[in-house]
Chains A and B, each alone.
Chain A
Amino acid sequence: MLTAWLFISPWVLGFLLFSALPIGLSVYYSFTSYNVFQPPRWIGLANYRALTTDPLFWKALYNTAYYTFLSVPLMMALSLGVALLLNSKLPGMRLFRTVFFLPSVLSGVGVALLWLWIFNPDYGLINLALSYLGIEGPLWLFSPQWSKPAMVIMSLWGMGGVMVINLAGLQSIPPQLYEAARVDGATGWAQFRYVTLPMLSPTLFFNFVTLTIGSFQVFTQAYVMTDGGPVHSTLFYVFYLFQTAFESLRMGYASAMAWILFFVIVTVSLIQIAVSRRLVYYEEN
């Protein structure tokens, strides 16, 4: 017993110092006005009340929801499509897997700068490619209408990790199931619908939840590529939270924002779990 607690003691200390204490402080700060230099001043629910009438808060929430609704389904579909292709037992699949997987391990500022250049309306790659097709491309990151779609396109380039998870899921489906389906006369689509999809549904559900949580937390793109603009069109929630906390030093207000984010994430995850009860197939152990 003592030995066990000694083994887990690094985690216990870390939990107390970097999780439990901060969580407590965060709840407290969210009811205060606090700029780090002066002690926090209790203001009750004022932060939460002010948030309900803060147009930028709603804008940030809207932008984040917009991004999530576009990015997550497209990412799910693309990563599943590529995984299905890579799961065919043809030679050369490892090479293709490498190509699709590589971009997802590159992330951060370098990738953001690369896409900033790709989306350059005059000299960038995307509008060059569109011009081959005879299309005059939009202003992308300089346009309030196109800035979020641009960031969704960029996010799709990083679908490799999800694709690999799907591929592992596909490869763990027992081949006997497909044989049985063939005996019953199931063709390609029927096999996909009645074998692949149900067997893969727990994996797809996992991706759905983690991708949604991840897309609520976009930050680097907004910071490096657009600074939240143009006209706040890429002011994502966490970026606004960061600005509020570390640029305006409104720690109390930002803490309230963090808790609202927490409740949004929990609510959305609970809804996803509730829906999944009917759609996800779990094997009996």
Chain B
Amino acid sequence: MATAHAHPNYMKIFWWLAALTVVELIVVFLPFGKLTNGTLLCALALGKAALVAAFFMHLRFETKTLTWIAFTPLAIATLLIFVLMPDGFAVAKKTQAASAPAAVAPAKH
């Protein structure tokens, strides 16, 4: 009963995580610009998180329902980013308007 599911090769996962961390540290100093580097770093972080969840937390060997539970917060956080976006654009617009005085000239009726 104690060994209900087979143990994966944990050392292999460990070396993957260590290697991906080193790759992350290299990506920081790559000259590809903010967007490319940022996308790469996000992808690497999600990959590492997926390795931890799938093997260390045994999600791969559990019933699918637990995977759905694990995905819910990720979906909520992603949605939240989109919810916050309009606010971000509004602030950016305001800062631009403040720096360009001609744009704020029209008086109210």
A, B assembled together: no
B interface with A by C-beta (< 8 Å): none
User: Which residues does A use to contact B, with CB under 8 Å?
Assistant: none
